[in-house]
């Protein structure tokens, strides 16, 4: 199964499998650790018992007769064998082996022994694995013709009792761990089901929604880990709602704004058809052409506004000064025809912004066209590019009548025209510019031009960077 297929598995099933696998691995590790601990504990307990047997023999060693004797009661030795669950071997001898009692072939440790320091070994003896405890102490005087004064006591017991006790201990531990693993598995399944309950409720809420319900989903009961996903979904819903609202507004605006021009065109056409003399026909056709031009401009601006509201942004790094120069130069013939001084002011360095070039050109063209329409002959229009550490701005100042200060807050609304506006207009130019600025994370400001005295429309945009370049400034149309 590849990684993509694994991601398509049920989240509940994946969590249960992974958590249960972790519980199983932990249980196996616990059993292994229990076995190691049990073996160490059993060996320590049985080694202490074996050392007790050694000391019991040592307490019953007698050398008063000049030889070596062990007065070990039979009952005590029988108890040793009963505890060891098998035959117990012992050896009491001098270190040189000349005097000894018990099993003479019990092996001695390979390394030297310390006095009164017990030593334990596991060896093969008499066809079985045994545990030998070896103990050494000094004698008061040599015995039995031996010149050695060190006495060695050894006791060996089989491993059967240890293995049997260890198995019982391990079986009990495995049974306990298995029960705990089963309880942990049940707890994991219940916890996963409970933890995923908000997701099931969220799924039911989304499935039960009406097709036109674009309200945000409730996040009050959403787990913190899933909250970013639900918030992203809410943002997507909000964007879709805004897109649908924009489309609805466009349809409403189109039906409202185009109905009157089309009716006027039909009336003028009917009048031209009824006219009997050539001058009346020419006058009707001229009016018809002007009304058609106005309808075309209004339609184009509405389409531009819809495009600015909903089109996908394909941004690139654009030099704002170069873009402003190109658009301004394209409007010089119109400015000359109206005897208007159209100039350009740009900073010495390049001003880079991340924008969709076509949309920003359209925004600047709308600002310049508005200024050309309302600035009287002999007036002045200045296109300016400014920059600071964090933002860049693209503005147009004119010496026209401007917009009354009380009406500036409403000037960016669709189809709004100032009370001092003259001539035909759609009232969409500034709305288009404001929409384009918002799409680029910027904003449109409308102020009074400090020098020209008319309107100052300024688009603020976040900067993408700046590169040094030669200064550019054009002022002559």
The answer to whether residues 340 and 477 touch, using CB atoms and an 8 Å cutoff, is yes
Distance (Å, whole) CA 50 – CA 104: 19
The phi, psi pair for 431, rounded to 5°, reads: -65, -40
Domain with CATH 3.30.565.10 in the chain: 313-474
Strands 380-387 and 443-448 turn out to be unpaired
- Dihedral sign of CA atoms 83, 85, 87, 92 in order: negative
pLDDT tens per residue across all 477 residues of the chain: 455 555 555 666 777 777 778 878 887 887 788 778 877 887 888 888 888 888 888 888 887 777 777 776 555 555 565 565 667 888 888 888 888 888 888 888 888 888 889 999 888 888 888 889 999 988 888 887 777 888 899 988 887 777 777 777 778 877 887 788 788 878 877 887 787 777 777 777 777 778 777 788 777 777 777 778 788 888 888 878 877 776 776 666 666 556 666 777 777 778 777 777 778 777 878 877 877 776 776 676 667 666 666 666 778 888 999 999 999 999 999 999 999 999 999 888 878 888 888 888 888 988 998 889 889 999 999 999 998 777 889 999 999 888 888 887 777 776 666 766 665 556 677 888 888 888 888 888 888 888 777 888 999 988 765 443 433 434 334
Owner of token pair 């900067």: 463
CA 268 to chain centre: 64
Could you tell me which CATH number the domain at 12-167 has? Answer: 3.30.450
Q: Give the angle subtended at the CA of 271 by the CAs of 268 and 274, to the nearest 5°.
A: 155
Domain with CATH 1.10.287 in the chain: 227-308
156 closest CA partner among 127, 124, 133: 133
Distance (Å, whole) CA 199 – CA 226: 9
Distance (Å, whole) CA 21 – CA 27: 10
Residues near 298 by Cβ (< 8 Å), separated by ≥ 6? 257, 258, 261, 426, 428
DSSP element (H, E) containing 67: none
Determine how many CB atoms are found less than 10 A away from the CB of residue 119: 16
What topology does CATH give the domain 313-474? Heat Shock Protein 90 (3.30.565)
The pTM (predicted TM-score) of the whole model is 0.46
Owner of token pair 């969709």: 356
What topology does CATH give the domain 227-308? Helix Hairpins (1.10.287)
Domain with CATH 3.30.450 in the chain: 12-167
Tell me the CB-side half-sphere exposure of residue 435, using CA atoms within 13 A.
25
């Amino acid at each position: 199964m590849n990684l993509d297929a694994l991601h398509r598995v049920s989240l509940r099933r994946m969590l249960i499998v992974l958590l249960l696998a972790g519980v199983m691995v932990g249980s196996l590790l616990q059993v292994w650790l229990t076995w190691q601990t049990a073996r160490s504990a059993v060996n320590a307990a049985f080694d202490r018992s074996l050392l007790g047997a050694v000391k019991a023999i040592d307490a019953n060693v007698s050398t008063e007769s000049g030889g070596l004797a062990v007065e070990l009661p039979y009952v005590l030795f029988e108890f040793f064998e009963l505890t060891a669950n098998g035959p117990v071997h012992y050896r009491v001898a001098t270190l040189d082996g000349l005097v000894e009692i018990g099993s003479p072939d019990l092996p001695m440790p390979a390394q030297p022994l310390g006095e009164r320091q017990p030593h334990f070994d596991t060896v093969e003896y008499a066809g079985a694995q045994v545990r030998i405890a070896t103990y050494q102490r000094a004698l008061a005087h040599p015995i039995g013709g031996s010149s050695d004064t060190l006495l060695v006591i050894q006791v060996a017991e089989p491993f059967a009792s240890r293995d049997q006790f260890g198995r019982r201990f391990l079986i009990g531990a495995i049974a306990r761990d298995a029960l705990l693993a089963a309880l942990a598995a049940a707890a994991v399944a219940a916890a996963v089901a409970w933890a995923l309950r908000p997701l099931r409720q969220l799924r039911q809420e989304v499935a039960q929604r009406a097709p036109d319900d674009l309200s945000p989903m409730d996040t009050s009961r959403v787990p913190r880990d899933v909250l970013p996903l639900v918030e992203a979904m809410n943002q997507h819903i909000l964007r879709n709602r805004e897109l649908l609202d924009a489309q609805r507004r466009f349809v409403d605006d189109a039906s409202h704004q185009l109905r009157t021009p089309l009716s006027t065109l039909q009336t003028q056409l009917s009048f031209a058809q009824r006219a009997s003399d050539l001058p009346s026909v020419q006058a009707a056709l001229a009016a018809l052409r002007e009304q058609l031009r106005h309808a075309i401009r209004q339609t184009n601006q509405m389409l531009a506004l819809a495009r600015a509201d909903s089109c996908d942004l394909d941004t690139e790094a654009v030099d704002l000064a170069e873009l402003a120069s190109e658009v301004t130069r394209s409007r010089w013939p119109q400015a000359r025809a109206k005897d208007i001084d159209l100039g350009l002011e740009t900073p010495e360095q390049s001003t880079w912004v991340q924008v969709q070039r076509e949309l920003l050109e359209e925004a600047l063209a709308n600002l310049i066209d508005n200024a050309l329409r309302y600035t009287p002959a002999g007036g002045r229009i200045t296109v300016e590019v400014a920059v600071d550490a964090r933002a860049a701005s693209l503005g147009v100042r004119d010496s026209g009548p401007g917009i009354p200060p009380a009406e500036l807050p409403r000037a960016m609304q669709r189809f709004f025209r100032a009370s001092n506006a003259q001539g035909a207009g759609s009232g969409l130019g500034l709305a288009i510019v404001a929409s384009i600025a918002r799409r680029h994370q910027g904003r449109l400001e409308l102020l009074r031009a400090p020098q020209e005295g008319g309107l100052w429309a300024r688009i603020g945009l976040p900067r993408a960077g700046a590169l040094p370049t030669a200064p550019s400034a054009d002022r002559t149309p």
